[in-house]
Amino acid sequence: MEPSRHLPVTLSVNGSQYPILIEPRRTLLDALRHDLGLTGAKKVCDMGDCGACTVIVDGKAMYACLLLAVDCDDREITTIEGLATGNELDPVQEAFIRADAFQCGFCTSGQIMSLRALLDANPEPDDDQILRAVTGNLCRCGAYPNILKAGRLAADLQAQAASNGQ
């Protein structure tokens, strides 16, 4: 290692602070997967074509492979590992299981994060908005119809949980 080529950065991920020393060229995706050991976000294309690396940055679904980690200092990052509360799954996660919205599962965390960002911004999306939320997320296994169903179901589960909570 040559420390001279490394820069300090503090990543704020799933509510925890991670001060790390990284090369400026390291993507957020690599920093998450290698420096933080958060391997839920997947690397498929590494060039912004597939969405498997999607995480939420300051409330927006973003491709982690297109962000440099050094540019993410002080930004609020949520990854798939940050969704469940203890053993309790996020409604989007729950919906994915129930709707069989994956096969191999390699695109799944990206799909879930895109829909999570949608529901955060718009808790009552219509079908077209659900579709548009995941148009940047490819699925080679072709689980698309069930991914859309899961989006619908997640919105319903979340609404139910909200009304039960009141």
Interface residues toward another protein, by CB under 8 A: 1-2, 23, 25-26, 30, 33-34, 37-47, 49-50, 52, 79-81, 83-84, 89, 93-94, 96-98, 100, 102-109, 112, 131, 134-135, 137-148
Q: Residue 116's binding partner, choosing from another protein, ligand FES, none, with beta-carbon cut-off 5 to 8 A by kind? A: none
The verdict on 43 binding ligand FES (CB under 6 A) reads yes
In whole angstroms, the minimum distance from the beta carbon of 106 to another protein comes to 3
What residues form DSSP beta bridges with 17? 12
Answer whether 62's CB lies under 8 Å from 98's CB. Answer: no
d(CA 8, CA 4): 11
The verdict on 63 binding ligand FES (CB under 6 A) reads yes
Q: Residue 53's binding partner, choosing from ligand FES, another protein, none, with beta-carbon cut-off 5 to 8 A by kind? A: ligand FES
- Give kind and range of the element (H or E) at residue 7: strand 7-13
In whole angstroms, the minimum distance from the beta carbon of 140 to another protein comes to 5
Q: Which residue, 25 or 60, has its beta carbon nearer to another protein?
A: 25
The token pair at 61 is 């679904």
In whole angstroms, the minimum distance from the beta carbon of 60 to another protein comes to 19
In whole angstroms, the minimum distance from the beta carbon of 147 to ligand FES comes to 8
Helix, strand, or coil (residue 134): coil
- Those residues whose C-beta lies under 8 Å from the C-beta of residue 85, and which sit 6 or more positions away, are none
- Those residues whose C-beta lies under 8 Å from the C-beta of residue 108, and which sit 6 or more positions away, are 96, 101, 102
